[in-house]
Structure 1
């Protein structure tokens, strides 16, 4: 298995209430072995680790490095293992993978990135759902095992959703496919469903170019899409919620609910 792969995907956001709204688009993500970033940097002349390129990845965009003002204070593989030791102290983490959007010509915004921590037998021991908002805040929901996770929403994501209710979170992945499900409910009533379903391919120069063109990706596209959809929701008179003070804790527990 290569140190880095591309994930071409279809992303769907569906708001169920108080006003129905749907967004569907193609996406291009990275699937990275965080212990082998030096190897990943050699897979394509169009891809870099920690430097400028057509496509790149920078550890400063995630975890404690992002919180510290985009300074490298801890390798992400070490960070994930540190969380694993707190959440499941008996687990021995052999490999840490990350699903995330790449930088495109140096620009990136990641609404959610997902870490998967595996033991030596390839079993998932921990999943970290790292969430960001457009205000520069970050919070992670940490779930033990390869299962459906349930988490109380304590972090402001959208001004058109309150900080209440709960998430259902589930990631599945194989050697050639992956999916991510986010179900958000208020008072047990489905409010929003977001899904990513993708196919993995080798990261090389040809696939970088065809992937960017095929997904219609360009620098700043995620933020552009977010603000465009926000305008549409405003036009539909969806209630607006001001940004509260972010939670002090960098992460919170997501409860294991069993496989569904």
Structure 2
């Protein structure tokens, strides 16, 4: 895992792919755009464009910290890690017209000397719950972590995720594969190309993908209904305790 040399902020025009292998085979592709930014230096946009891109601390971690860094540092401190002011880059969707839904937000954390320290993968489900995975990937950005969070209503909370999360450069290449009892029933990928995060670049992205966070949330529900209609059983949703450092 090496530090990114891409200037931030940046936009990535993306294709998100979900592939389910069984018991009902299903795949879908969704086009959107994501932001890559320094959490201490959010984009400076003209006031008329503020509704298209807001990054608020309440949308991440416990939602109670005054800043994004504050929420991240509280989570890491509960696990014995100190960034010591090190740089943190973030891949996320912005709040658009007051709405945000981020199935996955990634934080690449570096120490004060600029060396990679860890990755935090923050997952949101459609029930309004959040869970963060602390990852220590290898040099290629690969990590393996137990599944601890109810995401899809058609999978129980078991198995593990095999992730590949290299920090973006000119290209974005993210993959998350679920492994259960010797099977690999689900794969999600995000592939995208970097573009400049200028007002014109944002307007072009928004023109192609208006209200992208609402579109992602709606797509997940529509495909869930499709799977349910084809006989997949909904698994009970267990109580999800608040994680340390997420209060």
Give the TM-score, by structure 1 length.
0.82
Distance 1:12 1:245 in 2: 28
Residue 107 of structure 1 aligns to a residue whose secondary structure is: coil
RMSD (CA atoms): 2.4
Q: CA deviation at 1:198?
A: 1.4
Q: What residue number does 2:90 align with?
A: 98
Query: In the alignment, does 2:99 pair up with 1:107?
Result: yes
Query: Would the aligned equivalents of 1:160 and 1:239 in 2 still touch at CA under 8 Å?
Result: yes
Residue ranges of structure 2 left out of the alignment (5+ in a row): 1-5
Residue 62 of structure 2 aligns to a residue whose secondary structure is: helix
Judged with a 3 Å threshold, the aligned counterparts in structure 2 of structure 1 residues 219 and 190 are, in CA distance, closer, same or farther, namely closer
Q: What residue number does 2:41 align with?
A: 36
Judged with a 3 Å threshold, the aligned counterparts in structure 2 of structure 1 residues 177 and 93 are, in CA distance, closer, same or farther, namely farther
Of the candidates 17, 25, 49, which is equivalent to residue 20 of structure 1? 25
Q: What residue number does 1:204 align with?
A: 198
Query: In the alignment, does 2:213 pair up with 1:234?
Result: no
Judged with a 3 Å threshold, the aligned counterparts in structure 2 of structure 1 residues 216 and 236 are, in CA distance, closer, same or farther, namely farther
Residue ranges of structure 1 left out of the alignment (5+ in a row): 66-71, 253-260
Distance 1:86 1:170 in 2: 25
Distance 2:34 2:99 in 1: 14
Q: CA deviation at 1:93?
A: 5.2
Q: What residue number does 2:54 align with?
A: 56
- Deviation digits for residues 203-259 of structure 1, max 9, x if unmatched? 12211121123346546111110111011101221121121111342589xxxxxxx
Judged with a 3 Å threshold, the aligned counterparts in structure 2 of structure 1 residues 153 and 218 are, in CA distance, closer, same or farther, namely closer
Q: CA deviation at 1:64?
A: 1.8
Query: Would the aligned equivalents of 1:13 and 1:24 in 2 still touch at CA under 8 Å?
Result: yes
Q: How many residue pairs align between the two structures?
A: 239
Query: Would the aligned equivalents of 2:107 and 2:120 in 1 still touch at CA under 8 Å?
Result: yes
Judged with a 3 Å threshold, the aligned counterparts in structure 2 of structure 1 residues 219 and 196 are, in CA distance, closer, same or farther, namely closer
Equivalent positions of 1:1-16 (< 5 A) are: 3-16=8-21
Query: Would the aligned equivalents of 1:9 and 1:28 in 2 still touch at CA under 8 Å?
Result: yes
Query: Would the aligned equivalents of 1:88 and 1:144 in 2 still touch at CA under 8 Å?
Result: no
Of the candidates 110, 118, 129, which is equivalent to residue 110 of structure 2? 118
- Deviation digits for residues 42-68 of structure 1, max 9, x if unmatched? 2444543xxxx1332222111121xxx
